[in-house]
Structure 1
Amino acid sequence: MRVAPIIGLQMYSLRDLAEKDFLGTLHKVKEMGYQAVEFSGYYATPASELKSVLDNIGLKAPSAHVSLHYDDDRSKIKHDITKQIEYAKEIGLEYLITPWAPLPEKPSADDVTYLANILEFVGKQVYEGGLQYGYHNHDFEFKMVDNNKRVIDLLLERIPADYLIAEFDLGWIHMGGQKPVDYLMRYAGRVPLVHFKDFGAGRRDTEIGKGNVDLKGVLQATEEAGVQYIFVEQEQFSSSSVESMKKSLEFFQENGVLQIEHAQKGNGC
């Protein structure tokens, strides 16, 4: 049975608040009407304390972005990921996501092979630790390699699905010259998490539904594709991060994905 995705917020969107009061910002997220969060850091918060706050306010937290140290040796990578797995399991996460990878302006097949080997190494460790591992794209992963295939397709072809799921950032797919809904459906069943990111003029992002990305079309396909969580992400704001996150939530209310009363309750209406 298909289930509508849960609407969440990538905490990087509220980094200006989280840096000052991480746990208090989680309360604000819940009050706005979001149902889940994806972490981009824990601000030195003990896992037990974070888990308690999430449980008390009723906020789901399925995933976190975890950077890799690509220049370190495998033993260092393994040590770092082991600590991330332990923390993630204590707070109840299901997914660890790598948000970025270094690639040259014109990636070669060797560059992609090197990256794929690292991601598979990490993915196997995460899988054996009882979680799932994923990769979050930007636009450069949609460059062609040797005029053959795109970086993202090569990565997803070479690495077994058990070791790597896709967390497609739909805005960056658009900026990479591709149709977000096409990629979502191409890898249906392997994309449990997506980022909704909208772009206006140039490379400046904006509130969901206010830009040029066909996110409404994607929204209609999420259930069929097996998407479980949609995370709103925005980096640049015309007024404030909180106001932008509230405006983005209206997109999901207007399209019948999120009940309006959730947000009304959170906003004190």
Structure 2
Amino acid sequence: MAKPVVGLQLYTLRDQTEKDFLGTIRKVAEMGYTAVEFAGYYNTPASELRALLDELKLEAPSAHVGLNFGEPEKIDQDLRKQIDYAKELGLKYIVTPWAPLPENPTIDDVNKLAGILEAAGKQVTEAGLKYGYHNHDFEFKLVEGKPIIDWLLEKVSPEYLVAEFDLGWVHMGGRKPTDYVNRYAGRVPLAHFKDFGQGRSDTEVGKGVVDLKGVLDIAEQAGIEYFIVEQEEFENSSLESAKLSLEFFRRHGFA
């Protein structure tokens, strides 16, 4: 198996990208990251963004693309535009980063969400890309004795839905990241490396309490292709935190 590539979810640097999107991507490459995951494109033409990635020799496997859950009748046409852009950019995966569920979800809520994800997955797959879902902690609530995330991955075929496990949120959901990576080995091409310190405050990768090292040890055999750093809160600056997180992977021979 090929060693996973280390990338950065650009949402981490949202305070920078909103001021200088392309310049921030250059800084990511200068740090030593070899891939990026998008969370919006700031109206940049795909051809221009593709040219920059080629120049910097940066891989761009994926993008977070929200579905229009508030207007379900528009999901198909909105997603079509995202697919067209992603194909021109050369992405492999379109990932839904979040989905709405009630505070106390029922199996009907789960079935409804599974149906939406399956339809999106079919649309993305038929266009030649892969479709994934990125979890938080609420997908580990039990519905009829089983975590919601397991229901979703059971109800939607692997052909139409892969998992982008956010390892920090798996931990915050009361589960072991290694257990979920092993359970869905072969279906987890992308993994978000998020670490948590005190409470619900996240921190640089390797500085918190999440067993991320354990995932490094099993990643290749489980088929993970990309480790993607994501962080939302910072003691100093987002750029400094991104540099510190990359050091975790360097220490363990992955960057």
Q: Structure 2 length normalisation: TM-score?
A: 0.99
> Residue in 2 aligned with 1:250?
247
The letter of the residue matching 2:17 is: A
Match status 1:137 vs 2:135: yes
RMSD between superposed Cα atoms in Å = 0.6
Which residue number corresponds to residue 163 of structure 1? 160
SS, match of residue 210 in structure 1: coil
Between the aligned partners of 1:114 and 1:189, the Cα distance in structure 2 is: 26
Report the counterpart of residue 16 of structure 2 in structure 1.
Answer: 17
CA shift, 1:73, in A, is 3.2
Unaligned runs of 5+ in 1: 259-269
Q: Give 1:256's aligned amino acid.
A: G
Q: Which residue of 2 is the match for residue 261 of structure 1?
A: none
Partner of 2:126: 128
Q: In the alignment, which residue of structure 1 is the partner of 2:188?
A: 191
Residue type of the partner of 2:140?
F
Runs of 4+ in 1 over 6 A off after TM superposition: none
Specify the code of the residue in structure 1 equivalent to 2:169: W
Match of 1:204 in 2: 201
Q: Percent identity?
A: 65
2: CA distance, partners of 1:104 / 1:73: 17
Q: Which residue of 2 aligns with 1:86?
A: 84
Distance 1:59 1:17 in 2: 18
User: 1:265 corresponds to which residue?
Assistant: none
- Return the alpha-carbon distance in structure 1 between the equivalents of residues 90 and 12 of structure 2: 22
Partner of 2:31: 32
Secondary structure, aligned partner of 1:48: helix
Distance in 1 (alpha carbons) for counterparts of 2:150 and 2:216: 22
Residue 216 (structure 1) shift: 0.5
Work out which of the residue numbers 110, 125, 137 in structure 1 matches 2:108. 110
| Other-structure match for 1:174 | 171
Q: Distance in 2 between matches of 1:213 and 1:121?
A: 33
Deviations 1:144-183 (A, max 9, x none): 002x211000000000111100000000000000000000
Deviation at 1:71, TM superposition (A): 2.5
Q: Any idea what SS the aligned residue of 1:212 has?
A: coil
Is structure 2 residue 71 aligned with structure 1 residue 72? yes
Distance 1:185 1:213 in 2: 16
Number of aligned residue pairs: 255
Alpha-carbon distance in structure 1 between the residues aligned to 2:47 and 2:117: 29
Q: Which stretches in structure 2 are left out of the alignment for 5+ residues?
A: none
